[in-house]
Amino acid sequence: MSDQNRNLTWQNIALMGFVMVWGFGNVVNNFANQGLTVVFSWIFMIALYFVPYTLMVGELGSAFKDSQGGVSAWISSTTTPMLAFMAGWTYWVVHVPYLAQKPQSLLIALSWAISPSGELATTLKELNPLILQGMVLVVFLVFLYISTKGVKVLKVIGNVAGMSMFVMSLLYIVLGLAAPAITGHVATPNITPKSFVPKFDFAYLTTLSMLVFAVGGCEKIAPYVNNTKNPSKNFPKGMLILAGMVAVCALLGSIAMGMMFNANAIPEDLMMNGQYYAFQLLGEHYGLGSLFVIVYALANTAAQLSALVFSIDAPLRVLLGEADSRFIPKKLSKTNKNGVLVNGYIMTAILVSVLIVIPALGIGNTNELFNWLLKLNSVVMPMRYLWVFLAYMGLKKMSSKFKTEYKFIKSDKLGFLVGAWCFGFTAFACIMGMFPTDVPAFSKEWIFRVSLNVITPIVLMGIGLLLPVIAKITNESENASN
């Protein structure tokens, strides 16, 4: 690539990566899971997982500069076409639980925008889960239809709203840390160094998947490694600065949460409403009433709308846009006159609708249902990161075949081991995240949740394994009839 096309600095890489990876919800959800002990967890995660992860992405992006950074392309180059298909399938299918949970988040954000006192949000929380999920299903189907029309304006609004939320998140950290100095009140009493050290028991291990979920997704920055000035120096520098920025926001954000909420008595609905409680309290501390919570709720409503539409369409196009007919039935790639992948949309509608309705039959509390879906996402979504680490291990085994301007680890054996560590830790965190700790072990609801947590990823991945078989039968039949 010519030097004139290398116009990104390490500062650009760090900021772009930060916006892609980080969000205020990461602070709130993990504080809700662990309290102030999450400070230790963040240090561990960023040093031993996130930093290697980001730098592996840099090396993969450099090695496969012509693939536009696609994980399935990395897998195709380092393993087999079938595994490459499964990587692409995983990227799409992990969005199914995400799409099942996203309308809930949209309704909650909208409720706080309309009623910043939280009365409407309380009504939602107290609804019968079947009624709430019925509303969620209607919202999902409406926006599934809207996404077939390609509402580009909504996506633009979502990007603006996303940036607004990003600014508000940083604002919360600054104002949240300053508030105790103004009010003289700290919500968590008797904070000592021991307050930040977790108890390494089974319950703690079940919270790791949420941390992995929080720091994943930096592979989106990989295509830009070859647009960076002096990539062997500036790209890793940018990624390290990104890790530093995430560390600062995670640590200071968690401490700010401990200043505003009692870490020893965390509200049961903090995952569901915590972001809004945080800005509600912030407005009270600074005498601004509901201003902060209204601005944040409006921004989040717009962002959730955009994310819902975008996440229905974009991952499906990644999967089916250049589908290999050996693995995907041709009928799934069928488009209508508007270029909409109609059969792909039908498949999405069926899978998401099932995942919206079935949990409500066995989880009798709306807040617990929200928390379960969020935690299911933390189990399923990191499955796509496994392919990044598998590709890196493959790259290290075949390093002589590829030329890279940037190498995270020069030793192929050590690089392979680091890739294996990240792969193993991600898989372990996902498995541990399947076990709930907020209901009695082996109770009826515990068994129901664990069953869903285990069955959901198996079914979702199993459908991917079945598609090549279906493709072979249907495509041969179709070719014979022609």
Do 370 and 272 touch, CB atoms closer than 8 A? yes
Task: Say how many C-beta atoms besides its own lie within 10 A of residue 146's C-beta.
Answer: 15
Q: For the chain, give every domain's residue range.
A: 3-480
Do 392 and 401 touch, CB atoms closer than 8 A? no
The predicted-structure confidence for 445-456, as pLDDT tens digits, reads as follows 999 999 999 999
- Secondary-structure percent of the chain, ordered helix, strand, coil, rounded to 5: 75, 0, 20
Q: What is the DSSP letter of 22?
A: -
* Whole-prediction pTM: 0.93
The predicted-structure confidence for 464-478, as pLDDT tens digits, reads as follows 999 999 998 887 776
Inform me whether the pLDDT recorded for 69 exceeds 70.
Answer: no
Q: Which of 227, 278, 277 is nearest to 256 (CA)?
A: 278
* Mean pLDDT score, 346-355: 96
State the architecture of 3-480 in CATH terms. Up-down Bundle (1.20)
The predicted-structure confidence for 284-317, as pLDDT tens digits, reads as follows 989 999 999 999 999 999 888 888 888 888 888 8
pLDDT at 428: 98
Inform me whether the pLDDT recorded for 3 exceeds 80.
Answer: no
Q: Which residue has the tokens 């662990």?
A: 34
Q: How far apart are CA 2 and CA 430, in angstroms?
A: 42
Inform me whether the pLDDT recorded for 157 exceeds 80.
Answer: no
pLDDT at 70: 74
Q: How far apart are CA 408 and CA 406, in angstroms?
A: 7
Say which residue, 194 or 157, is predicted with more confidence: 194
Q: How far apart are CA 91 and CA 219, in angstroms?
A: 12
Q: What is the DSSP letter of 89?
A: H
Q: Which of 237, 239, 234, 240 is nearest to 3 (CA)?
A: 234
Distances (CA, A) of 363 to 127, 202, 435: 12, 23, 15
Kindly give the interhelix angle for 231-260 and 51-63, rounded to the nearest 10 degrees: 150
Q: How far apart are CA 396 and CA 398, in angstroms?
A: 5
pLDDT at 153: 66
Q: Name the residue type at position 200.
A: F
C-alpha angle 116-118-124 in degrees, rounded to nearest 5: 125
The predicted-structure confidence for 359-389, as pLDDT tens digits, reads as follows 999 998 999 999 999 999 999 999 999 999 9
Q: Percentage of residues in the chain with pLDDT exceeding 70? A: 95
Give the H/E segment covering residue 370: helix 366-380
Adjacent-strand bridge partners of 341: 335
Q: How far apart are CA 167 and CA 177, in angstroms?
A: 16
Do 46 and 215 touch, CB atoms closer than 8 A? yes
Question: Is the Cα torsion angle 370, 376, 378, 384 positive or negative in sign?
Answer: negative
Inform me whether the pLDDT recorded for 201 exceeds 70.
Answer: yes
Average pLDDT, the chain: 90
Q: Which of 340, 343, 380 is nearest to 470 (CA)?
A: 343
Inform me whether the pLDDT recorded for 72 exceeds 60.
Answer: yes
Query: With bands split at pLDDT 50, 70 and 90, how would you rate the model's confidence at 226?
Result: confident
Lowest-confidence pick of 147-156, 215-224, 380-389: 147-156
pLDDT at 97: 96
